[in-house]
Amino acid sequence: MRVIILGSAAGGGVPQWNCGCGNCQDARLSGTGRTQSSVALSADGARWVLLNASPDLRAQIASRPELWPRGARGTPISAVVCTDGEIDHTLGLVLLREATARFPVYAPAGVVGLLDREWPVLRVLSAYAGVEPRTLPEGQAIPLADGAGRELGVTCTAVSVARRAPRYAREASAATYDVALRLADQRTGATLAYIPTAGAVDDAVRSVARGADLLLFDGTFWSDGELRAAGVDAPTAREMGHVPIGGPGGSIELLPRLGARRTVLVHINNTNPILSRSSSERAQVEGSGIEVADDGMEVEL
């Protein structure tokens, strides 16, 4: 299974258009940056699945020959799986509107409901080629398939994680809004645990991550009060549903116990000090054997 991190940043990216923090200023001045959270994976190297569809999807596809069209019209992107209904993980669906056939989009039940009603991507795209929503069952491995129903050689198990509904959601519902994914290559058995957003390292996270060949985990914030410290009137990391990396009960303390072969932080917010390669926080992450993702990072499992 091939895994490509298309975008390693959280919502807003780096630099974020209206953020003057040190990381965003550095990114502007050095002409480097990070695009928003998305991963591409493939079992056969020919047909690809996107894990989340970011607002930067157009540039991400343009940057990877694996995702370029074959022929006059067409795409090797065969399906999308959304782990949540947040804008940074779903806006890219709108950018796929030029598709020539209904696009399969797997998502948890609560997210399919959101995309149908409160953030009506399904209705808007129905005027184009359209999206075929496929609800991810809880805790059950299903084979992913393309629009024609051909299996892609990857099974996907979704387990709900402790997180609130997106900010725009007004409907009170008990449905699942956020999942951790365990993806397995049906031929080789290689496994990817994909958990870009998690409010805690709890039983759900443990069950998905245990013994995975690669764990991609929520690296949004270093500390609980990070956004406030950056001068933004915002909830804490834990209130937003992101377990901080540092401090007691932080992810660098808990992740190494999950037994994943390799652990890489993704969905990194622009305020996070680990983005600076010379920071002590970055050294602490790397000292615990955990890696920090970069855009374009590729792993063969």
By the criterion CB under 6 A, which residues form the site for ligand MLT? Answer: 10-11, 86-88, 167, 197, 240-241
Q: Which range, of 56-64, 123-131, 149-157, 265-273, touches Zn ion by CB under 5 A?
A: 265-273
CB of 172 to Mn ion, least distance (A): 21
**In the complex with Mn ion, which residue's Cβ is closer, 152 or 240?**
240
Q: Which does 99 bind (CB under 5 to 8 A by kind): ligand MLT, Zn ion, Mn ion, none?
A: none
Peptide bond into 15 cis (omega under 30): yes
Range list of β-strands (E), the chain: 2-7, 38-42, 48-51, 77-81, 103-108, 131-136, 142-145, 151-160, 179-185, 191-195, 214-218, 263-266, 291-292, 298-300
Dihedral angle sign, alpha carbons of residues 215, 217, 219, 225: negative
Minimum Å gap between C-beta 86 and Mn ion is: 5
Q: Which amino acid is at 209?
A: A
Q: How far is the CB of 60 from Mn ion (least distance, A)?
A: 16
Site membership for Mn ion, residue 86 (CB under 5 A): yes
Beta-bridge partners for 298: 4
| ∠ CA 179-134-59, rounded to 5° | 75
Least separation in angstroms between CB 275 and Zn ion = 9
Q: Which amino acid is at 241?
A: G
- For the bound state, the minimum distance from the C-beta of residue 151 to ligand MLT, rounded and expressed in Å, comes to 31
Instruction: Determine the size of the site formed for Mn ion (CB under 5 A).
Output: 3
Inter-helix orientation angle 87-94/109-116, to 10°: 50
Q: Decide which of Mn ion, ligand MLT, Zn ion, none touches 19; Cβ closer than 5 to 8 Å per partner kind.
A: Zn ion
Instruction: Provide the binding-site residues for Zn ion, judged by CB under 5 A.
Output: 19, 21, 24, 270
Under the rule (CB under 5 A), what is the footprint of Mn ion?
11, 86, 88
